[in-house]
Structure 1
């Protein structure tokens, strides 16, 4: 794809970065045999997102979706989940395909704003290209599989929705003993499936065996929600897609900032609902066994409290017996104060270039890019 045909040039991107100082943007190109500069990759991240991500649980969901329109390509995304269980986009990239090279390039850019660490969890589908790139760029991070994609793969391989459901139940179990019980049923039903899951790695797809913390994020569904929100922009030329993303992020930050500021509870709206549901479970009390609760350590033998960091029914019973409120027991990632801090940054909507002070050396490059575009316009 020739850059000029895509309505994006190196000078144009330099100009864009100058006008939007709170943006990290990189453009990768190559020169073909005819001397034409051809597009390879484009990376985009907003400063407000980079700052806001520091207030989220350290789980990064990565995914890719195909672009429509005249020029085909793939949009790669890296996102987290905020205190209110909403998707929080960190970075975007437009690449030619979902191969290992593209994922490597994207993750190398992401690693510049989110460093590799044993405390980081990365969730994705089971694609080999993603796995190879994660191992290379994020060797310290814990890599987990999306269980929805895993279940689809199981159903496709063994033509059994029932087996896929059993695998999902084993994958989502909180306790090792529950996982073992459910996985033994999978192997008893289809031994080949048991071997297949073993080759993938039990720690890769099973919550009970996962070495890091993935909390409630067992799928890449939040990334698919982002892809759906971008449907309209995905058929546009690249710079129009960038502007579409910027406008979307501006709206999201503004609306969520207002919602968080308006909320008066100690924990976010959705976490409060989750706790209410757990309370209802407690009052219905169908617990068939007694579980040991350690409130000071925020642990319970059921492992829900440990892994999600939201009070389970057992912890609520224990807190009630001591006259304690539930909210202080919840992880700080879910607190309203954290929710507000996440959206404290600003993402400016696309403005009039005349209102922006652009350095002269950059302005000359911008003018050249605009003149080239005008000369090629019909």
Structure 2
């Protein structure tokens, strides 16, 4: 299992050696995970559609939301439902924060792939893969299969004995963490990590193209206009 930090760096949470992927193996993993990742409403698991994962998350935790990896789901739609030509509409819908924008992309996707749309809407549910319908805080992370990044680092080691593999894991990540620490220390006097600073800077730059007017005289309601599109409201 892996997660991401504030700088969008991937880091491993735990590793587990199992005989095969089944309910017992996933339950063992989640029980061990509970000792370091506590239950709570702000916790979210993103995985593929393996049924044992969904079942055992519910058994081990009470509050987290479980969603499906957008990349895994997109690949499934491409291979099993032949959605390659207009698959970009699914990705646009999945990454949209606004209901109206989501609906526009999904309705267009439905025109081309009615069966796949039924799967996404009724069998899986929008809250499993759509940011707009996500029931908790809408994080802008964990929508790609970041576990594959970890696999890519370790793939060459898989041919070796198990003891060598587990000895190489802390060594490899120790090197990475030391590199990241040196990188972050260069920014220790800043209020934001570099990734957050870039987002804030980009948002401020975009915000300079808007202006606000109180058209209705209501102190709780304002209208945002674009200098470029004036006087069209946004």
**Structure-1 residue corresponding to 2:110:** 187
**Which of these residues, 150, 157, 163, is aligned with residue 239 of structure 1?**
163
Name the structure 1 match of 2:70: 147
Deviation at 1:89, TM superposition (A): 1.3
Distance 1:144 1:173 in 2: 15
Do the aligned partners of residues 218 and 254 (structure 1) sit closer, same or farther apart at CA in structure 2, a change above 3 Å counting? closer
Cα offset, 1:220, TM superposition = 4.0
Deviation of the 1:108 alpha carbon: 1.2
- 1:214 deviates by 4.8
In the alignment, structure 1 residue 156 sits paired with structure 2 residue 60: no
Equivalent position of 1:255 in the other structure: 179
Counterpart-to-counterpart distance in 2, 1:215 and 1:162? 28
Instruction: Give yes or no for the alignment of 1:269 onto 2:208.
Output: no
**Which residue of structure 2 aligns with residue 86 of structure 1?**
9
Contact 2:72 2:145 in 1 (8 A): no
Distance 1:261 1:121 in 2: 29
Structure 1 residue 231, shift from structure 2 partner: 1.8
Q: Is the 8 A contact 1:124 1:219 kept in 2?
A: no
Which one has the largest radius of gyration? 1
TM-score, normalization by structure 1? 0.52
Q: Which whole-Å CA distance do the structure 2 matches of 1:249 and 1:190 have between them?
A: 43
- Please list, as runs of the form range in 1=range in 2, the aligned pairs for 1:1-378 lying within 5 A after superposition: 78-198=1-121, 199-263=123-187, 264-282=189-207, 285=209
Q: What is the alpha-carbon distance in structure 2 between the residues aligned to residue 149 and residue 130 of structure 1?
A: 14
CA distance in 1, matches of 2:4, 2:142: 12
Aligned partners of 1:124 and 1:220 also within 8 Å: no
Give ranges in structure 1 of 5+ residues lacking alignment.
1-77, 293-300, 303-313, 315-378
Q: What runs of 5+ residues in structure 2 fail to find an aligned partner?
A: 215-222, 227-234
* Deviation, structure 1 residue 291: 11
Task: Give secondary structure in 2 for the equivalent of 1:159.
Answer: coil
Q: CA deviation at 1:134?
A: 1.7
- SS at 2:16's partner residue? strand
Provide, for residues 275-322 of structure 1, a one-character-per-residue CA deviation record: whole Å limited to 9, x for no partner.
333344445x4x7x9799xxxxxxxx99xxxxxxxxxxx9xxxxxxxx
User: CA, structure 1 residues 160+98, in 2 after alignment: closer, same or farther (shift >3 Å)?
Assistant: same
Q: 1:138 and 1:160 mapped to 2: Cα distance?
A: 35
- Asked whether the 8 Å contact 2:26–2:53 carries over to 1, the reply is yes
1:170 Cα offset (Å)? 0.8
Q: How many pairs were matched up?
A: 215
Q: Which has the higher strand share?
A: 1
Residues 157 and 165, structure 2, Cα contact 8 Å, conserved in 1: yes
- Measure how far apart 1:272 and its partner are: 2.2
- Check conservation: 1:155, 1:163, Cα contact below 8 A: no
Contact 1:125 1:220 in 2 (8 A): no
The Cα of 1:175 is off from its aligned counterpart by 0.9
Higher relative contact order (CA 8 A, sep 6+): 1
User: What secondary structure does 2:141 align onto?
Assistant: coil
* Aligned-pair CA distance for 1:261: 1.6
SS at match of 1:209: coil
Does the CA contact (< 8 Å) of 2:68 and 2:128 recur in 1? yes
SS of the counterpart of 2:163? helix
The answer to whether the 8 Å contact 2:3/2:10 transfers is yes
* Runs of 4+ residues deviating >6 angstroms: 289-292
